Each structure stands twice: as structure tokens, then as C-alpha cells.
Chains A and B, each alone.
Chain A
Amino acid sequence: MAFIKRPIRRLRRKALLHQTFRLPQRLSLHTIGALREALADVDLRIVNQPLPQLTPFP
């Protein structure tokens, strides 16, 4: 069953991504992930701000 489970899991993950993350304003998965997972004092007004130009990851 393992050979069936793995693609299903992948498809499910993709479906969830597209369903959950269909949001406006140039929001990246990075931003959404941060919003969902950070326990920070997040101000949701940031979703309407354009993303700044940042240094690329090393």
C-alpha cells in the first residue's frame, strides 16, 4: 500500500495548498506559513502591504 499512499499524500498536500492559499496581494507561501505558525503578535494589516525586496537566502 505504501506505493499508493505516497502519491495520495502528495496530491492531498497540493490540493490543500491551492485551496488554502488562494489569497490576493502578492502573498507568498512564506508569508502565509509565517502567519499561521508564528505565535508572534501578528498584525493582520500586513497582508495588504507589498513585500519588500530582501537579500536572497545564502
Chain B
Amino acid sequence: MTLTSSLEQGRPPQQIREDLWLFPPNRDCLGGSSWWLDCVPEPVLIDCPPLTEATLQALERLAAGRIPRLLLTNREGHGRVRRLQERLGWPVLVQEQEAYLLPGVDPLETFAQTHRTASGLRLLWTPGPTPGSCVVHAPAPWNVLFCGRLLVPVAVGVLAGLQHRRTFHWPRQQRSLERLRDWVGSDPLPSLASGAGLGALRGERLAPWSAWADGFHQAPHQETPT
């Protein structure tokens, strides 16, 4: 199907560091955040940004002739990825549990437990928020952990696992958080880049590793699943 409607103008991404950009909140993903990491040889776009003219222009400028990879950390970050992929043609990587949600996307690659990209980024399957949630660890020199919705900003300088009505499996999410601590290792501890809305951080974008709160939070007025 040919898209004839014009896109919104939108806002361009914000540069956080020399190698890291943050796109504006995406309404198609409940205000989720998507990130661009300029790593060599294959830059990555993590989760789907809002499909706007400003986004497309920025992505073409940032790609600079290279073929980046689109990593999706959970089904709530898919947004309008198929339309974005139709326009840009970049390959998409997703955990196998959520690949069935993207039948028209080609090329689409999947992984099961772990994966390593051409640039050395590591992916780990962390089910809980959704069945196919995963995290992306960019080791030094980037030193960032893109945690999708596994860790959500809950206050200024605090990220935690959050249970709410869209949570797929809360005990699995708790186990995934414990496994993630072991998997990342301790030297050096990465900064945290959440894929959820960042409003609770009140202007901060990247959070230090110490912002990861030990306790698990439950959204108020939600019924605990049986």
C-alpha cells in the first residue's frame, strides 16, 4: 500500500552525548523513548521513534550512508516500525517471542536468549514486562544499558521494575532483573537508558547505575494478577 498522507513535522532528536541521541516521546508507544547509538561499524536505533518528517530527516543524516540496525526491546516499543522500515529499509532485530507481531517487516531477524551485533552490542532476553522483552548492553567505550521497559523511571534519579496492568508476568520480570545484574557484570557499571517515558526523571535523560532501586514497585490501584 502506498502512503499518500503527509507526515507531521515533529521534533528532531536531542543529542545527549557525542554518540547518543534521544528521540521525542512516541505517542504510538505510550510516550516511550527511543535512542540512537552511533557505534561503528553498525549504528543502532533502539525502539521505534515517532514517525515524523523531523525523525526521518534526522535518521538519514545520522546514518550518513551506513545501514543501521533497528533493535526492538519490547512490543510496546514497536510503534509504526513497519512504516518506518518501509521508508528506510533498515534491518530489524527482535526477540523471537514478538516477531509474529511484525509479519510485513523484511528483513526481520530474531534471537532467542542472547545476541551480539556487528558493533559488539550484547542483547539479553528479559521476559516480564512483555513476553519478548530484551535489554541492550553497549559495553565500553559507550557504556550504556538500554533497558527498555524492564526498568522504568519512578522518581527523580530512581529507576525500578514496575508492575502494572500491562505487565506480562511479574515473577518473571523479577527473575529477569536478578539475572540482568549478573549478566552485566561489575566493571564498569553502565548508565541506564530507559525505553519508557522519562518524565519522572525531571529533565535527566541517562541515569547512573546507582539509580536502579533495589525494591520492586507496584503501580497504585492495580489488581495483582493471580
Please encode chain B, from 66 to 102, with 1 for each CB lying within 8 Å of some chain A CB and 0 for all others: 0000000001101111110000000000001111111
A interface residues, how many (CB within 8 angstroms): 21
B interface residues, how many (CB within 8 angstroms): 34
Q: Which residues of A contact B79 (CB under 8 A)?
A: 39-41
Chain A CB within 8 A of B113 CB: yes
- Asked if A58 meets B75 with Cβ closer than 8 Å, knowing A42-B101, A46-B101, A52-B100, the reply is no
Count, A-B residue pairs, CB within 8 A: 65
Chain A CB within 8 A of B179 CB: yes
- Asked if A55 meets B113 with Cβ closer than 8 Å, knowing A39-B29, A39-B30, the reply is yes
Q: Which residues of A contact B75 (CB under 8 A)?
A: 34, 38, 40
Q: Which residue of A lies closest to B29 (CB)?
A: A39
CB pair A40 B127 closer than 8 Å: no
Partner of A38 from B83, B101, B103, B179 at Cβ < 8 Å: B101
- Asked if A57 meets B101 with Cβ closer than 8 Å, knowing A41-B82, A41-B83, the reply is no
Chain B CB within 8 A of A32 CB: no
Partner of B103 from A33, A34, A46 at Cβ < 8 Å: A46
> Measured between alpha carbons, how far is A41 from B102 in the docked complex, in Å?
7
Interface residues of B (CB under 8 A from A): 28-30, 75-76, 78-83, 96-104, 112-113, 125, 127, 130-131, 166, 168-169, 172, 175-176, 179, 226
